Copies of this chain bind each other. A is one copy, B any other.
Amino acid sequence: MPDVAQTQRAEAGAGPRVVTACVVLIGDEILSGRTRDTNLSYIAKHLNEVGIQVREARVIPDIEETIVSVINEVRGRHDYVFTTGGIGPTHDDITADSIAKAFGLPIGYHPDALAILDAHYKETGGEFTEARKRMARVPEGATLIENSVSKAPGFQIGNVFVMAGVPMVMQVMLDSLTPRLEGGAAMRSRTVSGQIGEGTIAEKLGALQKRYPGIVIGSYPYYRGKVYGTSLVMRGTDPALLDEVAGEAAALIRGFGVEPVEGDPA
């Protein structure tokens, strides 16, 4: 991914390199509302800890043409792409084939994946059916991603990491692949909250944002029964600057006679 990386280094000027990712959630069940996705927020938090920022997410159906075009669109635009879903043994699991097609690569059985699954079914007494063998198919040149929960591995091809959709399986795969990732500047955040309406502080907050273009300030209203207020979330890579802006945000809230709290409201 030298081109993407270089462009972003140039954009970032002399500052620390910004490393970005796109998450692609593949599955009809998310778009139908049957399954409420929990993977995106988990992946985003995890990547953030290693200095990778999720800048975009897509939720797409189990349709080959769509998977191919979306993967090809986003893999050139981000340092990393992470997909979830569609790598099981059934007819509707078409992610591996679609990713191979996106890369213009043949797909075949990975010998290590076959060995892992063969050992697993021997141990558990399950039959290693043709359908289950499908889970050993990866694009040519892909490297496996270990699955310590249910064995059937994910895979990496280029800058695309293909993981399971079942959250506990996805989570161990993400842990397993993390050493392969090269993070950039860690994005840190500070939150300051107060029992005050967004509309009351909005003007002063806008002015604060203008004074600190290097920190992104988000304003999020909250409701806790009859109590309402606003959480101000400051994000940036410079810890000292972040401290300074968090201090200013607290002072801003205090200026309206409201005592600010560090973090989210209880």
Q: Which residues of A contact B (CB under 8 A)?
A: 27-38, 40-46, 48, 53-62, 66, 88-93, 126-127, 129-132, 134-135, 166, 168, 187, 189, 197-203, 205-206, 209-210, 216-221, 223, 233, 235
Contacts and interface: CB of A to CB of B under 8 A. Distances in A.
Nearest to A27: B218
A129 B202 contact: yes
A66 B77 CA distance: 13
A91 B216 contact: no
Given A35-B220, A90-B202, 12 more contacts: A32-B187, A32-B235, A33-B44, A34-B41, A34-B233, A37-B41, A56-B66, A90-B201, A90-B205, A91-B219, A92-B209, A168-B223
B218 A62 contact: yes
14 contacts: A28-B216, A29-B220, A32-B45, A36-B38, A62-B218, A88-B221, A90-B198, A90-B219, A91-B206, A91-B217, A92-B209, A92-B217, A126-B197, A126-B200
B199 A235 contact: no
Given A129-B203, A199-B126, A57 B31 contact: yes
A118 to B, nearest CB: 13
- Which 5 pairs between the two chains have the least Cβ-Cβ distance? A131-B202, A33-B44, A33-B45, A91-B206, A57-B59
Contacts of A130: 203
Given A129-B203, A199-B131, A202-B89, A48 B60 contact: no
Contacts of A168: 223
Contact of A88 (B27, B166, B198, B210): B198
A26 to B, nearest CB: 12
Contacts of A166: 221, 223
A235 B197 contact: no
A100 B221 CA distance: 24
A56 B56 CA distance: 14
